[in-house]
Amino acid sequence: MRRPTRRQRLALAALLALAVVLVTVDYQGRAFGGLRAGTESVFGPLQHGVSAVVGPVGRFLGGIPHLASSGRRIDALRQQNDDLRRQLAEQALDTARAEQLSRLTLLAGLGQYRVLPAAVIGFGPGPGFEWVATLDVGARDRVVPGQTVVSGDGLVGRVKQVGATTCTVVLAADPGSSVGGRIAGSGQLGLVTGNGTAAMRLTLLDPNARVSAGDRLVTGPYGASTYVAGVPIGEITEVGADTGGVGPRTATVRPYVAFTRLDLVGVVLTGPRTDPRDSVLPPKPPR
**DSSP, residue by residue, 100-113:** HHHHHHHHHHHHT-
**pLDDT at 66 (0 to 100):** 63
CA distance 52 to 179: 88
Give the model's confidence band at 16: pLDDT under 50 very low, under 70 low, under 90 confident, else very high. Answer: low
| CATH 2.40.10.340 for domain 112-270 | yes
Predicted pLDDT at 248: 83
pLDDT digits (tens, 9 = 90+) for 126-166: 777 889 999 999 999 999 999 999 999 999 999 999 999 99
Burial of 109 (0-12, 13-18, 19+ CB in 10 A): exposed
pLDDT in tens, 176-202: 999 999 999 999 999 999 999 999 999
Distance CA 150, CA 240 (A): 28
Q: Report the C-alpha gap between 271 and 265 in whole angstroms.
A: 16
204 compared with 85, residue with greater pLDDT: 204
Please state whether beta strands 232-239 and 216-219 pair in parallel, antiparallel, or not at all (unpaired): antiparallel
For the CA atoms of 148, 149, 150, 151, the dihedral, rounded to the nearest 10 degrees, stands at 170
Picking from 238, 220, 221, 245, the residue whose alpha carbon sits closest to that of residue 230 is 220
- What confidence score (pLDDT) does residue 32 get? 45
Its pTM stands at 0.68
Q: What is the pLDDT of residues 65-111, one digit of tens each?
A: 666 677 777 777 677 677 667 666 666 667 888 888 999 999 999 99
What single string gives the DSSP state of each residue in 258-282?
A: -GGG--EEEEEEE--SS--TTTTSP
Q: Which residues of 272-282 are buried (b: 16+ CB within 10 A; e: fewer)?
A: beebbbbebbe
For the chain, give the mean pLDDT. Answer: 80
Percent of the chain past pLDDT 70, that is, above it, reads 69
The backbone region for 277, taken as left when phi is positive above 0, alpha when psi lies in -120 to 50, beta otherwise, is left
Distance, in Å, from the CA atom of 152 to the CA atom of 234, rounded to the nearest integer, reads 13
Q: Percentages helix, strand, coil for the chain, rounded to the nearest 5?
A: 40, 25, 35
pLDDT at 239 over 80: yes
**pLDDT tier, 264 (very low <50, low <70, confident <90, very high otherwise):** very high
pLDDT band at 3 (very low <50, low <70, confident <90, very high): low
pLDDT band with cut points at 50, 70 and 90 for residue 22: very low
Burial bucket for residue 141 (CB in 10 Å: 0-12, 13-18, 19+): middle
Q: Give the pLDDT band of residue 31 (cuts 50, 70, 90).
A: very low
Domain segments of the chain as ranges: 6-65, 112-270
